[in-house]
Every structure is written in C-alpha cells, then in structure tokens.
Amino acid sequence: MDFMKKLIAIFTVLSLISCKKEVQTFSKNITIIQDSVQNLKIKNIKEKDYATSNIMYIGKIKDSLELLDNLFLPPPPEPLVSSNEDKKWKKYRLKKEMIWEDLMKYLKDFHKYQLIKKGNITLEFNEKDTIISFDDINLDYYKSFPIYIKNVSKDTLSLGTEGYFPLILEAKNKKGKWIEVNKFPYNCGSFFKLVCLPPNEIIITSMFHYKGNYKTKLRFKILDFVSREYDGSINEEQFR
C-alpha cells in the first residue's frame, strides 16, 4: 500500500509539472522572417496601454513565414518621382502589392461567422522569443514576441475589424485578481470589414516585451478564451 501511495504521489507531481510547461505544437518549428530595425525599445509605461495587436500574418502554416506590419492596410501609392522613394519603403510597397489580392479573401462584410471561444482556437507563444512590432499609437518600433493562433474548428472564425486583433493582456495584482493592463482602441463607425480565419489556418500577432517595477503573472484574453500564464513585469500604475 505504501508503494502504491508513493507511486500515485509521483504521478501527481509529474502531471502538475507537465501542465505548467508550454506545449508548442504547430508553431514550434516555424521560422520568422522580418526586416531588421535599429535601436529597438522595450515598453516601460506608467499607465494602461493600448492593445495595438496588429495581424502580421494570416494563412496556411509553412516552415518559414514573413511578418508585415499593418498587414491589412492597402499598399502605399508609388511616389511621383521614383528617385525620392526610400529603398526599404519601396521593398515594403512591392511586398504589399504582391499579397494584397490574396488578403482580400480574408475580409468579409457580414457578421455571420463564429466568434473565438474556448475550444475553437489554439494559442501558442514563447515569451522569450523576440520580434519587431510597430506601435500605431506611439509610432515607434518595440521588442515583442510572436503569438500564434490557429483555427482548430470546422467553422470560419471572425477575428475582429481589419488590421487589429482584440488581444487583451491581463496581469495578476497583489490581491490575486486578474486585471486588464491594456485596452482595445475603439473604432467608430460600421465601415470596417471583418477579418475571418478559415479552418486549420493561422494568424500571427504579437505582444510587447513590457518592463516595470512589479513582477507578476500575465496571460492573454480573447473574449471568453484565456491563455496560459507566464512570468513578466509591468508598472503597478497599469492597474488603474
């Protein structure tokens, strides 16, 4: 009996340890391709931030994927004088022109698709990874990490208005309560189209690497879906 009790105790501990580990499946071997940016910053803010989680990729899973900021913004126009166009800006414009027609199939006019909920998506991330994200509010580049979301249902899912993904970051305060530390920008009007994700396809968005004076547990929330927790730090003022 003592032997059986010890065996049960060992299995219980092992199961608890395995539950805490990050399990990456479809995203583990994806190679991210992204243009480099100099002098990247880490976000260190004193109040609640805006949730500017842009969709940086949408489509099928591939071994290597290129990320683009503001994926669903139309390609910029050609300059009147070609010599005035920066080489990097021209490269960005040409990439957008190449993929723009394919992106249009993900934009829908009507609210007839399923919303994200627990059970119809898989969300994976490694908070130790680093990519580049552009902040539409502060108009600057910051260190962040990629977040992979896969539609594991049989339905096409509605992800929100074009360009932005409703990813909320929550942090645990000293009372053990989960508090939103960013807020989703409010879009006025009804002219925005929906971004819709077909079954077995993915999107890649991102979350900034935050740095602050308060170490705590963090997690992501999308409507009623909640991700795993991870260790991080923010400023306590973000709880306001």
pLDDT, one tens digit per residue, over 168-208 is 999 999 999 999 998 766 555 444 678 899 999 999 999 99
Asked if residue 21 belongs to a domain, the reply is no
Asked if residue 135 belongs to a domain, the reply is yes
Asked if residue 225 belongs to a domain, the reply is yes
Cβ neighbour number for residue 149 with a 10 Å cutoff = 28
Asked if residue 127 belongs to a domain, the reply is yes
What are the CB-based long-range contacts (under 8 Å, 24+) for 89-97? 91/35, 92/35, 92/68, 95/66, 95/68, 96/68
In terms of Cα–Cα distance, which of 83, 82, 55, 81 is closest to 69? 55
**pLDDT of amino acid 12:** 46
Asked if residue 22 belongs to a domain, the reply is no
* CA distance to 38, 141, 177, per residue, from 53 (Å): 21, 13, 24
**pLDDT of amino acid 190:** 47
Q: 104 near 93, Cβ under 8 Å?
A: no
Asked if residue 159 belongs to a domain, the reply is yes
Asked if residue 23 belongs to a domain, the reply is no
User: Mind listing the pLDDT tens digit for each residue in 78-127?
Assistant: 766 555 557 777 787 788 888 888 998 998 876 677 888 888 999 999 99
In terms of Cα–Cα distance, which of 209, 18, 29 is closest to 129? 209
Q: 220 near 123, Cβ under 8 Å?
A: yes
In terms of Cα–Cα distance, which of 120, 145, 102, 76 is closest to 223? 120
H-type helices in 59-174, by residue range?
87-103
Domain count, the chain: 1
What's the rounded Cα separation, in Å, for the pair 130 and 133?
10
Asked if residue 2 belongs to a domain, the reply is no
pTM score? 0.84
User: Rounded to 5 degrees, what are φ and ψ at 65?
Assistant: -135, 135
Q: 40 near 155, Cβ under 8 Å?
A: no
Domain that holds residue 171: 45-62+106-239
Cβ neighbour number for residue 91 with a 10 Å cutoff = 12
% of the chain residues with pLDDT over 90: 42
Report, as an integer, the average pLDDT of 26-40. Answer: 87
What's the rounded Cα separation, in Å, for the pair 98 and 172?
43
